[in-house]
Homo-oligomer: A and B are copies of this chain.
Amino acid sequence: MGQYAAPLRDMQFVLHELLNVENEVKGMPKHADLDADTINQVLEEAGKFCAEVLFPLNQSGDEEGCTYAGDGVVTTPKGFKEAYRQYIDAGWPALGCDPEYGGQGLPAFVNNALYEMLNSSNQAWTMYPGLSHGAYECLHAHGTAEQQKVYLPKLVAGEWTGTMCLTEPHCGTDLGILRTKAESNGDGSYLITGTKIFISSGEHDLAENIVHLVLARLPDAPPGTKGISLFIVPKFVPNEAGEPGERNGIKCGSIEHKMGIHANSTCVMNLDNAKGWLVGEANRGLQAMFVMMNAARLGVGMQSLGLTEVAYQNSLVYAKERLQMRSLTGPKAPEKAADPIIVHPDVRRMLLTQKAYAEGARAFSYWSALQIDKELSAQDEAERKEAADLVALLTPILKAFLSDNAFECTNHAMQVFGGHGFIKEWGMEQYVRDARINMIYEGTNAVQSLDLLGRKVLGDMGAKLRKFGKLVTDFVEAEGVKPEMQEFINPLADIGDKVSKLTMEIGMKAMQNQDEVGAAAVPYLRTVGHLVFSYFWARMARIALDKQASGDPFYKSKLATARFYFAKLLPETAKTIREARAGSKTLMEVDEALF
């Protein structure tokens, strides 16, 4: 049951009409020849694969889940292995990878678009290649030449998959207190012992080898986060020929039973003198791992966009078909027993919320991926730096704002189905359960908000935020004089001003009391998230205004969704700004015993 079709028209709108990527890549030697047609063909093919191969496995995968067969063996649900074979045979893992290692060398924004579709079709399945891509990025950035030669071609081909092994039973957010130990063998390798939990894709039957990236502590390491090193710990140690050799001492001890993403194995990984090789410098493992963690955070953004889109598509079909009650303004389908529920204002609110959040997320996340491409590949150093700053600033918003929205949206989609939404058979409650993890893993959304407010904004006295602010004010100045843009520019300028004031205010308070940062962070992130969405919705409205005379209903729809966003979703900031302003007093003055 259910349906998914890749939203190609809107993806193309974002890439070509909003971002003009064909023009942008001209400034990137690596990608300069890429044209719009090629991009569109790739997306179309990917969309077919997702709709035809992965989507049909989503509900059955949830129902069946992964199985721990004992002795370290994990079986994925029926069909997963075959789908993965098709995926690698078609070369999809290589899409955004370095040609030096067999990659196709396409920009990050194309890979991001692929991941939106993969996640719409099957988030649990997509976590297998998704983590592999993160491991690829980490080793590509920090591995030795030898490590890159051995591991990258296998990861790029999808023949081996990857994991990130961070969490331990007593530490998730607080990696500084991790206990897994690494001792030198004297031959360049290390023996690693410890227990890791919550290891997504930690063990499975999709690939012949698994490349674990493991955080551990060397004997002489200083305490805390400055004493953590990163190691490659392959399931099978590659032999001389670079093929899987000796079975390594890292083994899945059990898998978790979870609320959602049942079809992705969440493993307890026991390391018992497992052989590992240092990645990057000793004691600087967290910095190296940050490449993978940032990739994973962007990945959560794409998961969240994917779920929002597919939930929207399904609830829209249902809202047009389900007949229930008459419109308050009189029958709209008098020939039927009742009107389709899409006539009811609140059903429309739930649908348009999903549409506005999906399309806003698409614009924002594809634009962010384009910034990553600029950071990696722009010719001009200043441009690379500028893009890197914007990516650093916006990564926590991509992770947290989009995953909050996806949870809200999948819940709306489920609510549109009424009682049927609660029944597994209809497939809607799975989206809610799957979306729920996105607010937790890869750093909870509260951790993201502290990263945004504490590190990214206050940490450089607002410098990075002002860079984004400049994009906003430039657009406001260019468009603010045009009467047809008033309805979009005024609220955009207004939320921009409010964010500036709020940031200053919190910054001042934080100088007296650091708890003010912790108290304001979550509503602050939601507020800045809306500034970002307001900016993209205003830019999209500009294009839609220009083209509405074309007669293409797409632009009318875009314009209507923009208007809905400003009228009905942006007002959330009236709440979040007040919450942020309310400060830490009522939170912190309560003695622990009084809870």
Question: Which residues in A have some Cβ–Cβ distance to B below 8 Å?
Answer: 167, 170-174, 176-177, 197-198, 256-260, 316, 320, 323-325, 327-329, 337-338, 342, 344-349, 351-352, 355, 411, 414-415, 418-419, 421-425, 429, 432-433, 436-437, 439-441, 444-446, 449, 454, 513-515, 517-519, 521-522, 553, 556-557, 560-561, 563-564, 567-568, 571-575, 578-579, 582-595
Contact = CB atoms under 8 A, between A and B. Distances in A.
A419 B441 contact: yes
Q: What secondary structure prevails in chain A residues at the interface with B? A: helix
B590 A329 contact: no
Contacts of A197: 419
Contact of A519 (B349, B436, B582): B349
Nearest to A429: B259
Contact of A423 (B171, B258, B348, B583): B258
B568 A579 contact: yes
23 contacts: A172-B418, A173-B325, A174-B325, A177-B323, A177-B337, A177-B338, A257-B424, A259-B429, A329-B514, A329-B515, A345-B518, A345-B519, A345-B587, A346-B446, A348-B587, A349-B522, A352-B587, A421-B440, A553-B594, A557-B595, A561-B590, A567-B582, A567-B583
Contact of A522 (B257, B346, B521, B590): B346
A557 B342 CA distance: 46
Stoichiometry, copies per complex: 2
Contact of A320 (B176, B439, B454, B592): B592
Contacts of A259: 422-424, 429, 432-433
Contact of A346 (B423, B429, B439, B519): B519
A351 B594 CA distance: 12
Given A257-B424, A444-B418, A593-B553, A344 B574 contact: no
Contacts of A513: 329
Contact of A422 (B436, B518, B519, B564): B436
A316 B594 CA distance: 11
Closest 3 CB pairs of A and B: A345-B518, A571-B578, A575-B575
A324 B429 contact: no
A429 B591 CA distance: 28
Contacts of A521: 346
Contacts of A560: 586, 589-590, 594
Contacts of A563: 586
B590 A557 contact: yes
A567 B571 CA distance: 19
B440 A422 contact: yes
B568 A586 contact: yes
Contact of A198 (B323, B325, B348, B419): B419
A130 to B, nearest CB: 17
A15 to B, nearest CB: 21
A3 to B, nearest CB: 15
Contacts of A422: 258-260, 436-437, 440-441
Contacts of A338: 174, 176-177
